[in-house]
Structure 1
Amino acid sequence: MTAMNDKPAPSMSMSAEAAAPQAPDKPINATPYADPQYNVPTIMAALYGDGILGLKGAFSREWVAKLGEELAVLYTQALARPGGAVGRGTNRHYVEIHPEDISGFLDLITHPWVQTVCASVLGPNYKIVEIGFDVPNPGSKDQPWHRDFRAAEETLVDRRLNSLAFNLTTVDVEEDMGPFEIAPGTQWDDPSEYDHGMFPPTSLYSRYEALAQRKMPKMGDISVRSALTIHRGTANTSDKPRPVLVLGVDAPGAGHDEWHDLQFTRGYYAQLPQEVRDHLICRVVDELEPIVQGHTIEGLMMGDA
């Protein structure tokens, strides 16, 4: 006698339908520290490949305009203070500032793209170590090709990036304003013949000129790069300065905080979210103290290319 079953056996098509995954309502975040709107492999490929990556329209033009006004005041003050502005070549200066000097500091460091890039490349325990700005003024000349500091063993041997520099222009950059120029992929170049580990010999200039890309960002755009990627500022033949904000970020233990002096007053620091304080290497002080710039680049201060 054959046993009877009132229920039909499930078909293969029914099983397939039951097993089919449902489309999620929002992107699945497979990397918890990364914002799902940004692609981690794309970020990693850009910074380990070309050594530079940009995001257009990260901030509003109004936000950037206010930043530009604040930097103009800080620049005037720095020029009037002994050692307040460090030379980076003819008619060029770098000014390191206190985060509290600008109203948009928290907006900048909590932007989801900035956070995602830092965590993806440097690890979730990355540290903010520097904020300042560069000003290539009218009459500034081509800088020599250079790195911003010597490559560490992590990069030379382990082939790992342990620091990043974010740049945010306060003006719409035009061709005659001395655009930033970079030679993609050169963060991996052997520095054994470089002067001070930072300045390649002129015999290599043809290589960089063949690779060179000039960057002309607009107000609101932000970029990030390895400061080891060979680069230079070009001659500003216009009648306008080209200020650019700089944010320096390290992997844990990279050590670049030794060149900087990030300070916060106790009241300002106490108002920062704990998840922000976790990413700072800084001093907490009763009153902000003048910054003594520790990261001078002698080869840039001595002249231009």
Structure 2
Amino acid sequence: MLRTDSLALKVSDDVATLVDDGIVGKKGAFSRDFAEVMREDMMTAFWKAIQRPGGAVGRGPRRWYVEIHPQEFSGFIELTTHPWVVAMCEATLGPDYKIVEIGFDTPFQGAKYQPWHRDFPSPEDTFRDKRITSLAFNLTGVDVTEDMGPFEVAVGTQYFDGRSWKHEMFPPQEIWPEFASKGVKKYPKMGDISCRSALTIHRGTAHPSPIARPVMVLGVDAPGAGHDKLHDLMVAQDYYDALPGQVRDHLVCRVVEELVPVTQKHDIEGLVMGVE
């Protein structure tokens, strides 16, 4: 594996794109076999989570978000030690970045357009100082097509203030055309990864396809960003002990004797109802 410092200059263009657009992608970062196993891990975790209260949180009709234990994703170490992922974290968030979330979003047939939104309120560091303090890495479990409700992002909107919006996350409907004019739908293939600010305004789109579109999400913070309070990563002691230092040193988690099902803390109320 390449050392992170050897990639610092190689990701400089990607960091610049992230800073300007609020999102950047890396095609073919992982093999299709990796993505296929990841999809199986996600769907197995989904069918377990949907059967218990708080296991799968609605993000609109026929759309759910599920947080998982790192060890429920067999590719967790490979993801969190990938040179591009590490380099983007270090270049954007600093060398002491914190891994605070692992989960996945799954729209099924019948999912509707989400309202334009961001994932949490913007801190002053971002809307005032134009500094990105958190990242979300997304990995698709399928080759995305137009009928699979592709993710749509309003490019360059990560620095919008938003303090007057509902929950500081949902812009009023009268300004949605502004975001639609900046909207770009994404069609990643299995093995691709994207890196975005969760503050970039975005939405899931309508999903008429019978094929589900699970997307793995890795959440990473700069020190002090505080989003670990919205999550509750747990690992068993033997798993924790076996983690490479490159992961263990950045992972914000509880080490427990016995894993218990995740009850999610971050319920985005405004996404429960979709829009036509």
- The two structures have a TM-score, normalised by structure 2, of 0.96
Are the counterparts in 2 of residues 148 and 228 from structure 1 also a CA contact under 8 Å?
yes
Q: Percent identity?
A: 57
Task: Say whether 1:188 aligns with 2:159.
Answer: yes
For structure 2, list consecutive stretches of 5 or more residues without a partner in the other structure: none
Report the CA distance shift for 1:60/1:37 in structure 2 as closer, same or farther (over 3 A): farther
2:78 counterpart SS class: helix
User: CA offsets per residue over residues 172-215 of structure 1, 9 Å max, x none?
Assistant: 00001000000110001121331110000111111111111000
**Partner SS state of residue 212, structure 2:** coil
CA contact (8 A) 1:38 1:116 kept: no
Task: Answer with 1 or 2: which has the greater Rg.
Answer: 1
Give the match for residue 298 of structure 1: 269
Q: Which structure has the higher relative contact order (CA within 8 Å, separation 6+)?
A: 2
Task: Measure, in 2, the Cα distance between the counterparts of 1:111 and 1:275.
Answer: 10
Distance across 2 between alignment mates of 1:83 and 1:108 = 26
Aligned partner of 1:145 in structure 2 is 116
Give 1:280's aligned amino acid.
L
Pairing 1:1-305 to 2, within 5 Å after superposition: 33-36=4-7, 39-304=10-275
Q: CA RMSD in A?
A: 1.5
Q: Output one character per residue of 1:3-62: Cα deviation in whole Å (capped at 9) or x when no partner.
A: xxxxxxxxxxxxxxxxxxxxxxxxxx9xx8434386242122111100000001111111
Work out the number of aligned pairs and report it.
Answer: 275
Per-residue deviation, 1:156: 2.2
Asked whether the equivalents of residues 97 and 291 of structure 1 are also in contact (C-alpha less than 8 Å), the reply is yes
The separation in 1 between residues aligned to 2:262 and 2:100, in whole angstroms, is: 13
Question: After the TM superposition, which segments of 4 or more aligned residues of structure 1 sit over 4 Å from their partners?
Answer: none
- Kindly indicate whether the alpha-carbon contact (under 8 Å) linking 1:166 and 1:247 is maintained by their aligned counterparts in 2: yes
Q: Equivalent residue for 1:8?
A: none
Whole-Å separation in 2 of the counterparts to 1:146 and 1:303: 12
- What SS does structure 2 have at the residue aligned with 1:125? coil
Alpha-carbon contact 1:95-1:134 (below 8 Å) kept: yes
Taking the aligned partners of 1:192 and 1:90, their CA distance within structure 2 comes to: 27
Amino acid at match of 1:141: K
- SS in structure 1 opposite 2:148? coil
Which region of structure 1 is more displaced relative to structure 2, 261-270 or 42-51?
42-51
Alpha-carbon distance, 1:302 to partner: 3.8
SS of residue in 1 equivalent to 2:209: coil
| Corresponding letter in the other structure for 2:268 | I
Which range moved further: 37-46 or 102-111?
A: 37-46
> d(CA) in 2 for partners of 1:237 and 1:34?
44
Paired residue type of 1:195: K
Q: Is the 1:34–1:120 Cα contact (8 Å) retained in structure 2? A: no
| Structure 1 CA distance for aligned equivalents of residues 67 and 194 of structure 2 | 19
Structure 1 unmatched ranges of 5 or more: 1-28
Q: TM-score, normalised by structure 1?
A: 0.87
